Amino acid sequence: MVSNGSYVADEDKFKDDAYLALASRFTTREDFEIFYSSLNNSATKDEFLRVASFYLFMVKNGDWHVSVERSNPTVYYFTNSFKLVALFSVIESLSDKHYKDLFNWLNEEPPESIFPITDKAYLSALNKKYKSEYGSIHRCKAFFENLPQCRQKALCESIKIDGQPLKSIRKVAEFLYEKRSKFVHEARLFSQISDTAGTVLSMRGNKVIQTELSIDELFQAFEEGLLAYFS
pLDDT, tens digit, for every residue of 178-195?
A: 999 999 999 998 888 877
A 10 A CB-CB count for 167 gives: 10
Sheet with 159-161: strands ordered across: 164-165, 159-161, 207-211, 200-204
The whole-number pLDDT of residue 1 equals 54
Q: Which residues contact 101 (CB under 8 A, 6 or more apart)?
A: none
Interval 113-149: pLDDT, tens? 787 888 888 888 887 777 766 666 888 898 999 999 9
Residues of the chain where predicted confidence (pLDDT) is lower than 50? none
Q: According to the model, what pLDDT value does residue 32 have? A: 98
CA separation, residue 146 to residues 90, 141, 155, 158, 189 (Å): 16, 9, 13, 18, 28
pLDDT the model gives residue 135: 65
The pLDDT value given to residue 13: 93
Task: Please give the model's pTM, rounded to 2 decimal places.
Answer: 0.83
CB atoms within 10 A of CB 123: 12
CB distance 139 to 93 below 8 Å: no
Rg (the chain; Cα; Å): 20
Question: Residue 149 has what pLDDT?
Answer: 96
- What was the pLDDT predicted at 122? 83
**What is the predicted pLDDT for the residue at 125?**
83
